[in-house]
Amino acid sequence: MNLLVTGGAGFIGSHFVLRHVGEYPKDNVVVLDKLTYAGDESFLDPVKKSITFVKGDIADTPLVEKLIKEHAIDVIVDFAAETHVDRSIDDPFPFLHTNVLGVQSLIEVCRKNPSLKLLHVSTDEVYGDLKDGDAPKKITDPLFPSSPYAASKAAGDFLVQSAMRTYGIKAIISRCTNNYGPHQATEKFIPTVIRTASVDQPVPIYAQGQNKRDWLYVTDHTDAIEVLLQTKDLFERSSSESCIYHVSADSEKKNIDVAKLLLKILGKPESLLTSVKDRPGHDWRYALDSSRMRKLGWSPKVSFEEGLRKTVEWYRRRKEGS
């Protein structure tokens, strides 16, 4: 298989590239990444001799077309995205550029290459939030995004589904719950707790930390993406109505409980926890029904506490420069 992995130097994308090259060393993997604040080419150092890396923007359609032709690409695995909710509230335009125009760029390339497949990685945030006691979201539920980030991702999803129906492109959309693990940008919630607590600074917690998230260790997510890629005829069987797969660990935690567990692992006091003004439009809770994904044989392997310990250890090593 010849793969173009967009956003392959970012948090989740880099883990996918490392996994895929290790599992399928004969495949040709091309990574396209803009190398914004969230991307780091060094994440790919263990496999850099086995891949082709290109710095560029997925919204640059001629560049994407060139890579597709030069490397005879079979599948685009699209991790490229602006993802940080707070940043999207401050300035939505970069999110519209990558998450909407960038997705349309990939669609245009797929239109011109009918055999090309697109696996578009999305998020649970497109559904908006749930109340306590609400059932996890199903793929048939309507989308009610709360933030500019979530709205831009929902728009990208709709573009893919409409292109499947109108142009007949071959595509799959995966929607995942909150990921955590090594390589994540330091401004995200779990890295922020680790970063601030490690130097005995106040750990900021929105409101009282009662918001709930379903946490999934990053390699469990990349395992799921691999299952979607390797399941026979999955793209051919997908339609605009049936192309969506949910990836979740069924491991909901309150933010305050996550922070307390991290402090315990770090050996730091809970007195560092500091309540700060809540984020505008802050979603209360996310949860996905992943039964369809699990029927393909996938299930998460890394427990939450084990994943946190691995994450803390990685940030410690990175700070020490090892």
Q: Which residues are catalytic, by number? A: 124-125, 149
In degrees rounded to 5, what are phi and psi of residue 66?
-60, -45
CA distance 183 to 192: 13
Element (H, E) at 199: none
230-258 in b/e form (b: 16+ CB < 10 A) is eeeebbeebebeebbbbbbbebbbebbeb
| Residue 235 CB partners (closer than 8 Å, separation 6+) | 117, 170, 171, 172
**DSSP category for residue 100:** I
Instruction: Find, among 92, 269, 79, the residue nearest to 176 by Cα.
Output: 79
Q: Are strands 273-276 and 203-206 parallel, antiparallel or unpaired?
A: parallel
